[in-house]
Chain A
Amino acid sequence: EIVLTQSPGTLSSSPGERATLSCRASQSVSSSYLAWYQQKPGQGPRLLIYGASSRATGIPDRFSGSGSGTDFTLTISRLEPEDCAVYYCQQYGRSRWTFGQGTKVEIK
């Protein structure tokens, strides 16, 4: 099973700052199968990025994804107060889906 490790566990930044979230896989992952989700308290997850770098419908362009192989990154270019949430990466392979443990983004 492919394990996804996200870092940092918690990221605290001010509005307008850039946030960089990392997702590292224990084995190489196809970019086609790598997605990022945002989850706010009391809500279901929301798709942000699919195919490692494609924004989902309605997602602001301050969110971007990059990476390949075992290292993937979600970047929020200019943090806004509504970006306060937990962010998860996810991969699919060999009839198994796995999620990273999440990165909590706090706005100072």
Chain B
Amino acid sequence: EVQLVESGGGLVQPGGSLRLSCAASGFTFSSYSMNWVRQAPGKGLEWVSYISSSGSAIYYADSVKGRFTISRDNPKNSLYLQINSLRAEDTAVYYCARWVRAADGTNYYYYMDVWGKGTTVTVSS
């Protein structure tokens, strides 16, 4: 079964740090790009960061650039998000999601096809 399981969330004070992990199973992790997406309480989805399959391409949302670092360990089938200088507005459920580039004849399609259940980060004093 294809599965993503996030961990590492918790309660942290403003200015603190956390390292989130995402364990992948049931597929060849090293062949897929990955994303982190978050959802503040009662709000919609917000893309946070992307990393290519090899780790050579990395992108961040402007709201987290300079504070968050995405990385991956392909032999360990794991994705990470180091989050520093946490703010109250970083309070959210953080999801990891697999990014797919699929071909259908001459057309290419791009989407997030597998999501984890999320890990909750709460920033509060």
Which A residues are within 8 Å of any B CB, using their own CB?
32-33, 35, 37, 39, 43-47, 50-51, 54, 56, 86, 88, 90, 92, 95-102
B110 and A32 within 8 A (CB): yes
Q: Are B115 and A92 in contact, with the CB atoms below 8 A?
A: no
**Interface of chain B, helix or strand or loop or mixed?**
strand
A47 to B115, CA, bound (A): 9
- B89-112, CB < 8 A from A: 95, 97, 102, 104, 107-112
B107 & A51 in contact (Cβ 8 Å cutoff): yes
Kindly list chain A residues whose C-beta atoms are within 8 Å of the C-beta of B59. Answer: 95-96
CB-CB under 8 A from B35, the residues of chain A are: 97
Contact of A99 (CB < 8 Å), options: B45, B109, B118: B45
A50 contacts which of B37, B95, B111, B118 (Cβ < 8 Å)? B111
A92 touches B110 (CB 8 A): yes
Known: A32-B107, A95-B59, A102-B44. A44 touches B113 (CB 8 A): no
Residues of A within 8 A of B95 (CB): 44-45
